[in-house]
Amino acid sequence: MNAQPDPVLRRAATVAFVLYLVVLAGAAFLPLPFGQVERGDGARYDLTLERPDLLGGWEAQRNVLMTIPFGVLLPLVVRWRYEALVLACVGVTFLIETVQLLVSASVGWAWRAFDVNDVLLNTVGGLLGLALTGVVLAIVRRPALPPARRLVTGGLAALLVGWAVASTLTTHTYAVVYACDEPPAGTVTSLPGGASAYAGSDGSVCLQADGGTASVPSDAGPGSALTYERSDGTWEVGTALPGDVLTEGVGGQTVELHAVDGSRVLVWAVRR
C-alpha cells in the first residue's frame, strides 16, 4: 500500500484529507467546555473494555464511521509502510481521547471522558478504511504478493475487525426496552417541572411526568421524550449523552443535564 499514487489523485486526496481533519476536530472537540454548564467532578476515564457492538446505537456507529475516511485517505496522501498506517489509525484516536481527558482535567469538570471503547471503535473504523483503499488499489494495480511482515500486520488488523464484527453478530439484540415496566434499579432523579427519571436493570431510563411515561434505551441520543402541560406552561422532558450540549427552553438557554443512577443516559426538563 506504500506505492506512490497518481499525482492528481494524491493532490485531491490531500485536500480531502485536510478538510476531513477539520471536520474530525470539530466533531471531537466542539463545543469547547468554556461557558458550558459544568457536569461531574474532574476528568473521567473508562478503561473497562466491553465487547464491541457495531450496531449498538448511534454513538457506537459514529465512533466507527468518523475514522473510516482517515483510513481511506491516509494511504493516498503519505508514502508510509502498512505498519505505520495501522499505527496512525490507532494513534489518532488515542490522541483525541487523551486531549479530551487533559482538557477536562484542566477545566475541572467532565467535559469529555477518555473511553477505551471509543479507542477500539475508532481504530476499527480506521482499519476498515485502510482495507477499503487496499482492496481498490489491489484491483487496479494487481500488485505482487506483499511481504510477510505486511501479512502479519494485516492479519492482526483483520483479527481485530473480525472480532468486532463477530461480537456484534453474537451480542446485538433487537429487543424493545421498557424500563418503565421495571422497578427502579437505583435512586430516582427529580427533575424540574415535577418530572422524574430512573434507570432500569439494563441501563435504559424511564421518564415520568404528569401521569405520562416514556422508556428510552441506554444508548439514546439527544431528543425529546415527553411533552406535558402545567399551570406554569408547557414542559418537555428528554435525554442526552455525556458530552452533549443542548440549548432549549425559554430564551434558548443551555439545558441543565441530570445524571441518572444506574445509567449513562442524561436527562433534562425545560419549560417551553
pLDDT in tens, 9-42: 889 999 999 999 999 998 888 877 766 655 555 6
Q: Is the pLDDT of residue 270 over 50?
A: yes
Q: What type of residue sits at position 229? A: E
CA distance 139 to 259: 51
> How high is the pLDDT of residue 126?
92
pLDDT confidence tier of residue 272, bands split at 50, 70 and 90: confident
Domain finish residue from 171, 188, 219: 171
Q: Give me the mean pLDDT over the 132-148 stretch.
A: 71
| Arithmetic mean of pLDDT, 136-164 | 69
Residue located via cell numbers 428510552: 216
Banded pLDDT at 252 (limits 50, 70, 90):
low
Residues 184, 158 share a domain: no
128 and 208 inside one domain: no
Nearest to 199 by CA among 266, 268, 261, 269: 261
Judge whether 181 and 158 are in contact, CB under 8 Å. no
Full DSSP string of 186-234? SPPEE-GGG-EEEE-TTS-EEEEETTEEEEE-TT--SEEEEEEEETTEE
17, 150: one domain: yes
Region 197-219: mean pLDDT is 86
Q: Does residue 1 sit within a domain?
A: no
Residues 98-108 have a mean pLDDT of 83
Place of cell 485517505: 73
**The pLDDT value given to residue 249:** 47
Domain end (from 171, 204, 238): 171
Q: Does residue 109 share a domain with residue 187?
A: no
Checking if the pLDDT of 175 tops 50, the result is no
Q: Which domain holds residue 50?
A: 7-171
Res. 183: pLDDT tops 70: yes
Kindly report whether the global pTM for this prediction surpasses the value 0.95: no
Count how many domains the chain has.
2
In this predicted model, which residue has the larger pLDDT, 82 or 171? 82
d(CA 93, CA 91): 6
CA separation for the pair 219, 263 (Å, rounded): 10
pLDDT at 88: 94
Check whether residue 86 and residue 203 sit in a common domain: no
Return d(Cα 241, Cα 220) in angstroms, integer.
7
Burial 113-125 (b: 16+ CB within 10 A, else e): bbbebbbbbbbbb
Torsion angle of C-alpha atoms 49, 160, 58, 63, degrees rounded to 10? 90
Q: Is residue 194 part of a domain?
A: yes
The confidence score (pLDDT) of residue 176 equals 47
The string of pLDDT tens digits covering residues 55-78 is 666 677 888 899 999 999 999 999
C-alpha cell at 246: 443542548
Q: Which of 40, 45, 101, 27 is nearest to 256 (CA)?
A: 40
Domain boundary among 129, 144, 171: 171
* CA–CA gap between residue 35 and residue 30 (Å, rounded): 12
Residue 223: pLDDT over 90: no
Same domain flag for 60 and 187: no
Residues 167 and 200 both lie in one domain: no
Q: What is the DSSP letter of 147?
A: P
